[in-house]
């Protein structure tokens, strides 16, 4: 078992997501930054759907009770294993009694911890991903334990990756949403030639942006939405649904973020800036 000595701000177990239940109002959930999550699983030669730990801003302190191999990636924290600094996107061996500690956040917002063969938490509706009320809790808490497999021997094909990080990228690639045609020139000019700031209202459900554009008076029926759907409210506020976002909405769906753009946005926090690019 992995003991959570300190849980951090909002630490969860996630996998690729929970599919097939949108029509019942159950969000996909899963990795916010899929690009980084896949890389830490790849280095451990795990299935890309293996359950890993997603760490938001303030990281945890964790104690291992059996040997395994780990990989960290995503946002850059100062991370130590038994008080010794360890590198990102690199395979590390841990032994019983080893303590992994997350310190200062240096860049980005969400980081990932993978163990060999993935965490062995219960699957609910086909996924390990934490999302209350589908799962008993929304995030990990102090002093709980997480099951994982013992692994004493592992010879990875690749021990370290030099990655093109999403942390420095602020351009979000979008495609036209179902209601894109309702936008007028003034709105399009603002959307594509303006820099937007991430508002304080940002989490796994949705990101809001500080700057508004011209609003609208469009009345529409509630329609299906997905992670990455960009909605425009009547007041001109922009809202971007994320992995735990609602499955339907009544605002015009002007854009749809690419998967890579969702990963980029997932690493942004309050005060960071983004731009939109069609294509």
Last residue of a domain, one of 146, 163, 182: 146
- The model's pLDDT over 26-36, given as tens digits with 9 standing for 90+, comes to 999 999 999 99
| pLDDT for the residue numbered 66 | 97
With a CB cutoff of 8 Å and minimum separation 6, the contacts of 155 are none
Give the CA dihedral 265, 267, 271, 274, nearest 10 degrees.
Answer: -30
| pLDDT for the residue numbered 221 | 85
Looking at the fold, whether 136 and 15 belong to one and the same domain comes out as yes
Residue 268 maps to a domain: yes
Residue 8 maps to a domain: yes
* Nearest-angstrom CA–CA distance, 120 and 53: 11
- The model's pLDDT over 221-245, given as tens digits with 9 standing for 90+, comes to 889 999 999 999 999 999 999 999 9
Looking at the fold, whether 138 and 29 belong to one and the same domain comes out as yes
- In sequence order, the β-bridge partners of residue 146 are 2
* Nearest-angstrom CA–CA distance, 20 and 182: 30
The SS3 assignment for 60 reads coil
Per-chain mean pLDDT for the chain: 96
Backbone angles phi, psi at 278, to 5 degrees: -80, 135
- The model's pLDDT over 103-148, given as tens digits with 9 standing for 90+, comes to 999 999 999 999 999 999 999 999 999 999 899 999 999 999 999 9
Residue 155 maps to a domain: no
Looking at the fold, whether 124 and 207 belong to one and the same domain comes out as no
> What is the Cβ-side half-sphere exposure of residue 45, based on CA atoms within 13 angstroms?
8
Looking at the fold, whether 141 and 228 belong to one and the same domain comes out as no
Looking at the fold, whether 68 and 133 belong to one and the same domain comes out as yes
pLDDT at 164 over 80: no
pLDDT at 5 over 90: yes
Looking at the fold, whether 182 and 269 belong to one and the same domain comes out as yes
Residue 249 maps to a domain: yes
Residue ranges making up the domain that contains 103:
2-146
Which CATH number goes with the domain that contains 179?
2.40.100.10
- The model's pLDDT over 186-214, given as tens digits with 9 standing for 90+, comes to 999 999 999 999 999 999 999 999 999 99
| pLDDT for the residue numbered 172 | 97
| pLDDT for the residue numbered 279 | 83
Q: Look at the chain and report how many structural domains it folds into.
A: 2
């Amino acid at each position: 078992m992995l003991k959570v000595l300190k849980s951090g701000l909002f630490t969860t177990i996630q996998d690729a997501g929970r599919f097939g239940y949108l029509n019942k109002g159950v969000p996909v959930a899963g990795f916010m930054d899929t690009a980084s999550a896949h890389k830490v699983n790849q280095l451990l030669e795990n299935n890309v759907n293996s359950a890993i730990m997603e760490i938001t801003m303030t990281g945890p302190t964790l104690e291992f009770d059996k040997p395994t191999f780990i990989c960290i990636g995503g946002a850059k924290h100062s991370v130590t294993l038994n008080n010794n600094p360890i590198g990102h996107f690199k395979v590390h061996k841990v032994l019983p009694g080893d303590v992994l500690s997350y310190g200062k956040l240096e860049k980005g917002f969400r980081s990932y911890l993978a163990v060999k063969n993935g965490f062995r938490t219960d699957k609910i509706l086909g996924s390990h991903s934490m999302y209350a009320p589908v799962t008993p809790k929304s995030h990990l808490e102090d002093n709980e334990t997480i099951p994982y497999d013992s692994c004493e021997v592992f010879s990875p094909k690749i021990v370290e990756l030099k990655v093109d990080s999403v942390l420095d990228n602020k351009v979000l690639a979008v495609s036209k949403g179902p209601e894109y045609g309702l936008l007028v020139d003034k709105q399009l000019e603002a959307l594509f030639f303006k820099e937007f700031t991430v508002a304080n209202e940002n989490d796994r459900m949705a990101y809001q942006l500080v700057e508004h554009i011209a609003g609208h008076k469009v009345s529409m029926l509630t329609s299906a939405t997905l992670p990455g759907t960009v909605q425009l409210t009547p007041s001109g506020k922009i809202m971007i649904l994320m992995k735990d976002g609602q499955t339907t909405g009544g605002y015009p769906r002007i854009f749809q973020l690419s998967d890579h753009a969702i990963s980029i946005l997932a690493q942004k926090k309050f005060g960071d800036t983004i731009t939109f690019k069609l294509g």
